[in-house]
Structure 1
Amino acid sequence: MEHFRTARLSAERLRENHLADLVALHLDAEVSRYLGGVRSAEKTKTYLDANMAHWDQHGFGLWVLRTKDGAFAGRAGIRHILVDDVDEIEIAYAFKREFWGRGLASETATALTDIGLLHHELPSLIGLVYVGNGASRRVLEKSNYLLERTTFRHGENGVLYRIRR
């Protein structure tokens, strides 16, 4: 599933030509504060390469999100991640600041959950959020993810939410 649509967004599989949009997104300190911090262009290139390889290995990964008029809105996806030495599959999303507060994260989380649980028939998905990220916590709760436990990630206290098929 290289493409999908929501009511207001289109998503396309992450590709090399998305680097400039990702660099701009990752250089925004407000956007990146809950993503492990600002990433340089070089680190974003490494991130892009790793996430394209994830697609090749698992058949799913990150998508670039665009508005109906084609503007870059952010990125989102489903990916394997190690949490406390356990291989989990998380949904992840990040939007440019101009798109915050419009319900796009909830719309995207619902789509990602359906793709993971129904299309890929994964047994469960997680959402991993820093404790202080109230907006993302609400998105997961509205998407029927249940708070499972606390964890520690990138030097910060976090919480792990889960939904099961």
Structure 2
Amino acid sequence: MRYFEDIEVGETRHFGSYPVSRDEVLDFACKYDAQPFHLSDEAAAKTHFGRMSASGWHSCAMTMAMIVENMKSADEASLGAAGIDELRWLKPVYPGDTLRCETQVLEKRASRRRPEMGSVRTQMTVYNQDDVAVLRFISLGLIRRKPADN
């Protein structure tokens, strides 16, 4: 199990591989963000996107899928998150892209009110297959501290 005490400020981790499919982009857009440039190449061609692009919120959801998969494989002692700051959609995400994550620990603090946990501020950057940053945000994760008997 990877606990709060095991995390170092400045550490960087690379993980994930998420292929973006046209069907998934359409499905998400139809359900949650039915703007024309998320639904059709023809409509998107008339915009700065140039072709159909994934919703920014879909890009966030794909990122979350990679984060959770990484936490499971790394056996993280995650307790959820307190929020996200500075979310920026830097470049469009298109069907056919493959996304990956890079995260850097900016800061960590033990909780004064909840001694069983701490918070970790990380900068998450998501890249496409061409190593172009498409999404960036700061997250405030909550993570379990090591039990006293460890």
Asked if Structure 1 and Structure 2 have the same fold, meaning a TM-score greater than 0.5 normalized by the shorter chain, the answer is no
Work out which of the two has the higher radius of gyration on C-alpha atoms and give 1 or 2. Answer: 2
Q: Which has the higher helix share?
A: 1
**TM-score interval w.r.t. the shorter chain?**
under 0.3
- TM-score, normalising length from structure 1? 0.24
- TM-score, normalising length from structure 2? 0.25
